[in-house]
Structure 1
């Protein structure tokens, strides 16, 4: 039977207490089961409600990837869901082990550091090239004066260069350099030399093409903990999410060790609103293994006695537009990847991009840029925008 022709009662037993409970919760978020609006959830199979109640987003995400439910606008579904804070109203007993695992075990040891590179960043440079901007920038764009993804990403790169006051001849360390978009931009436009650290072999291989263009950039396939050189400036864009709370202090100590006394350190990271919450189990399992979003206090605690926090800039709402732009490019390019990656990957990637877009839109998660100095900027630091 075509899923579009399924009746309201086919997979939703209104006499079930759990289903009545969920229907009432969803009503608080203005979401209807088998409704006709773009953000309403359409059930295609049994068990979706029970999976979501028992296993939270892990159950909801896996049932979506299986094709058990749909929403015409998945981003809008998650916006409504998270803006109403519905996940806070459900106790997921089966997720206790996941919570304890992330709190008690160091999931981001040096030995584990390369796991996320292999699982996420090494799935194919051609795939990311089709989804991202021309510089392969896989972090939030800055949309203040931008009309498209290319402009937003270049504006972000230039904002960072201006925030740290790059000058010709400086040496810059990029912790978690990705495909080298910042290093290439900074070298081309500000005349600096850059060293980038990555745990992705695909990214390191891609970096060779930048070096072949004669740019003064160096890719090092190594864990951040192994770096010992000193630099005029340190940049870290979208890498701190892979560090983990048990390693925040170690990370800051490394940055302090590698930054010259008069240097500046810009830390760009996604962050969460609640300190003691656990990593999202679906994202952890399928997208970013061993990842963890820091809370604001995690960053400042780790920096204490090492750095002065000169400035904190939150433009998390811009990640919504960035993710939606990536999704648009992903959808347009999908026919060339469909045979190699398959339908389950397609649904997984849609769920990843659009659920995250909805979360940023709901302001459930943030994007911060911290400006840090070792001794404090004399006369004060003045933010550029």
Structure 2
């Protein structure tokens, strides 16, 4: 078994250095000897066989179950080694067939009808709310931050993200705004407080809904912010502005046309929409099976080539597209550092297996943005070309105006402290 594993890994790891041991056996080395050596140990032959038969699923499972231990380096380093080598790796026929099959049947996994969408959301977002306070910023922004400078703090970068989005939305006082996938309410509250908008936030998470409503009550914004437990397909009101941040990844390719048709129906004739979503730099693919099973069931990261045709058919006009490349990598790095710093508190809520599962999720996600072609796109949409200015100068000007309205802020802290 060790010989076969050495052969398989030897074909994959052409650059770098990895020492691998199975059970109590002596380690063998693969790679070209460059870089800082990494070392892993598999619990036994069964673990080695699982890794060879279905690495896309087994890699994460073995780590979270303790059957793959990193003895030198960190799991993020091992993931980086694998991803950077996979760029030059030509998979064999069985691997190609398995991945082609996943792409072909993805419509079954992404059949996100209303009831299933609610169940998928609950799987990830209805965890113990204290978990998210341990690693997110003070406003609980669970999406890509916007780092204006390399040394900007996570809290300031998340505030910059809200400011950047509000500027692109061109929100005016008194306008009605729909926030699709409003989470814990941070963006909706910002638009109400800083832009004097009237905001409706919709979510499918009962945990997030309760927190968002409580936050609106604490800030005495109930008259300007209405949070609802509602599917976007069931909304009937009309809005001057529509925003969706970090929700589109849960829509599913079969429902892209429905999503944009709904947005077009809800948006006023002179309205503006801003869609913020994770995307692929390359061609369409399929969701990693480990992510689909343990983290985001029903989720999928789209290529722009899948999104734009649905927009075109809806009658909406694309007025701006911005690609945020490494911003999410830096966001995930900060989340993982905070997650590790609060390890004992995570273990008090769940257990070691859960901690390792989320550690793998955060590490793999960060490295996907650094090495595996993931990015974030912001697409600005309208019904009329004249709904937004001719040049992008207005974005910076509006950000400066919003920054002035924010004024002095108290020192921010880790959420939950």
The answer to whether structure 1 residue 22 and structure 2 residue 9 are counterparts is: yes
Residue of structure 1 equivalent to 2:75: 74
Residue of structure 1 equivalent to 2:373: 364
Alpha carbons of 1:275 and 1:244: their partners in 2 closer, same or farther (altered >3 Å)?
farther
Residue of structure 1 equivalent to 2:291: 283
TM-score by length of 1: 0.90
Name the CA distance, whole Å, in 2 between partners of 1:221 and 1:39: 50
Alpha carbons of 1:382 and 1:67: their partners in 2 closer, same or farther (altered >3 Å)?
same
* C-alpha displacement of 1:89: 2.9
Name the CA distance, whole Å, in 2 between partners of 1:375 and 1:39: 56
Name the CA distance, whole Å, in 2 between partners of 1:82 and 1:313: 25
Secondary structure, aligned partner of 1:327: helix
TM-score by length of 2: 0.83
Deviations 1:128-151 (A, max 9, x none): 111101111000000123611101
Name the CA distance, whole Å, in 1 between partners of 2:88 and 2:183: 32
* C-alpha displacement of 1:183: 0.6
Secondary structure, aligned partner of 2:156: helix
* C-alpha displacement of 1:64: 1.0
Give 5+ residue unaligned stretches, structure 2: 21-28, 397-417
Secondary structure, aligned partner of 1:89: coil
Q: Which residue, 296, 304, 308 being the options, matches 1:296? A: 304
Q: Which residue, 205, 210, 223 being the options, matches 2:210? A: 205
Give 5+ residue unaligned stretches, structure 1: 1-11
- The answer to whether the 8 Å contact 1:149/1:325 transfers is yes
Alpha carbons of 1:218 and 1:39: their partners in 2 closer, same or farther (altered >3 Å)?
farther
Name the CA distance, whole Å, in 2 between partners of 1:204 and 1:66: 32
The answer to whether structure 1 residue 352 and structure 2 residue 338 are counterparts is: no
- The answer to whether the 8 Å contact 1:310/1:372 transfers is yes
Residue of structure 2 equivalent to 1:54: 53
Once the two structures are overlaid, the 10-residue window that deviates more, 143-152 or 323-332, is 143-152
- The answer to whether the 8 Å contact 1:61/1:351 transfers is yes
- The answer to whether the 8 Å contact 2:110/2:299 transfers is no
* C-alpha displacement of 1:125: 1.4
Name the CA distance, whole Å, in 2 between partners of 1:290 and 1:350: 21
5 Å-filtered alignment, 1:1-385, equals 13=2, 15-16=3-4, 18-28=5-15, 30-34=16-20, 40-46=38-44, 47-71=46-70, 72-86=73-87, 89-90=90-91, 91-92=94-95, 98-104=102-108, 106-145=110-149, 147-212=152-217, 213-215=219-221, 216-305=224-313, 306-377=315-386, 380-382=390-392, 384=395
* C-alpha displacement of 1:87: 9.0
Alpha carbons of 1:38 and 1:226: their partners in 2 closer, same or farther (altered >3 Å)?
farther
Root-mean-square deviation (CA, aligned residues, Å) is 2.2
Secondary structure, aligned partner of 1:137: coil
Deviations 1:206-256 (A, max 9, x none): 112122121121111111111111111100000000000100000000111
Alpha carbons of 1:48 and 1:31: their partners in 2 closer, same or farther (altered >3 Å)?
farther
How many matched pairs?
371
- The answer to whether the 8 Å contact 2:244/2:274 transfers is yes
Alpha carbons of 1:167 and 1:280: their partners in 2 closer, same or farther (altered >3 Å)?
same
* C-alpha displacement of 1:367: 0.6
- The answer to whether the 8 Å contact 2:189/2:216 transfers is no
